[in-house]
Amino acid sequence: MSDTWDGQITAYDRATALSGARLLSLSENATYLCTFSDTPDPLVLRLHRPGFRTLPQIRSELMWTERLRADGAVATPAVVPTPAGEAAASFRGAGGALQHAALFEFAPGAEPDTTDFTNVMEVVGRETAALHEHASRWRRPDDFTRPDWDLAHLIGAASLWGRWRDNPDVPPGGVEVLARAEEKLTRELDAYGGGPAVFGLIHGDLRAANLLVAPDAVRLIDFDDCGYGWFLYDLACSLSFVEHDPRAAHWVTAWLRGYQARRPLREEDVRAIPALVMLRRLMLVAWVHKRGDTPFAASLRPAFAAQSVELARHYLADGYLTAVHHDH
What pLDDT is recorded for position 16?
Answer: 62
Cα separations (Å) of 86 from 34, 54, 83, 145? 19, 15, 7, 17
Question: What are the pLDDT digits (tens) for 85-94?
Answer: 999 998 887 7
> What gap in Å lies between CA 130 and CA 72, rounded to an integer?
10
Output the pLDDT for position 282: 99
Q: For residues 35 and 40, what is the distance between their CA atoms, to the nearest angstrom?
A: 8
Nearest alpha-carbon partner for 281 in 146, 148, 184, 173? 184
Given a cut of 70, is residue 14 above it in pLDDT? no
pLDDT tens-digit readout, 27-68: 888 999 999 888 899 999 999 988 889 999 999 999 999 999
* pLDDT score of 18: 83
pLDDT in tens, 305-317: 999 999 999 999 9
| pLDDT bracket for residue 6 (50, 70, 90) | low
Average pLDDT over residues 94-113: 88
When computed from its CA atoms, the radius of gyration of the chain, rounded to whole angstroms, is: 20
CB neighbours of 242 closer than 8 A, spacing ≥ 6? 248, 251
pLDDT at 139: 96
CA distance 136 to 199: 9
Cα(first)–Cα(last) distance of the chain, in Å?
A: 48
What is the residue-wise DSSP string for 102-139?
EEEEPPP-B---GGGHHHHHHHHHHHHHHHHHHHHH--
Backbone angles phi, psi at 75, to 5 degrees: -90, 130
Predicted local confidence at residue 284, as pLDDT: 98
Phi and psi at residue 257, to the nearest 5°: -60, -45
Give buried/exposed letters for 172-191 (b at 16+ CB in 10 A, else e). Answer: eebeebbeebbebbeebbee
Q: Is the pLDDT of residue 11 over 70?
A: no
Q: What is the pLDDT of residues 158-214, one digit of tens each?
A: 999 999 999 999 999 999 999 999 999 999 999 999 999 999 999 999 998 899 988
**Tell me, what's the pLDDT at 79?**
97
pLDDT at position 272? 98
Q: 248-294: per-residue pLDDT in tens?
A: 999 999 999 999 999 999 999 999 999 999 999 999 999 999 998 88
Q: With cut-offs at 50, 70 and 90, classify the pLDDT of residue 2.
A: low
Look at residue 102 and tell me whether its pLDDT is greater than 80.
Answer: yes
Give the sign of the dihedral formed by CA 169, CA 53, CA 130, CA 136: negative
For the chain, which domains are there?
2-105 (3.30.200.20), 114-316 (3.90.1200.10)
- CA-wise closest residue to 170 among 284, 28, 294: 284
pLDDT band at 114 (very low <50, low <70, confident <90, very high): confident
What's the mean pLDDT in 3-12?
68
Q: Model's pTM, two decimal places? A: 0.94
What proportion of the chain, given as a percentage, has pLDDT over 70? Answer: 96
Q: Using CA atoms, how far apart are residues 86 and 36, in angstroms rounded to an integer?
A: 18
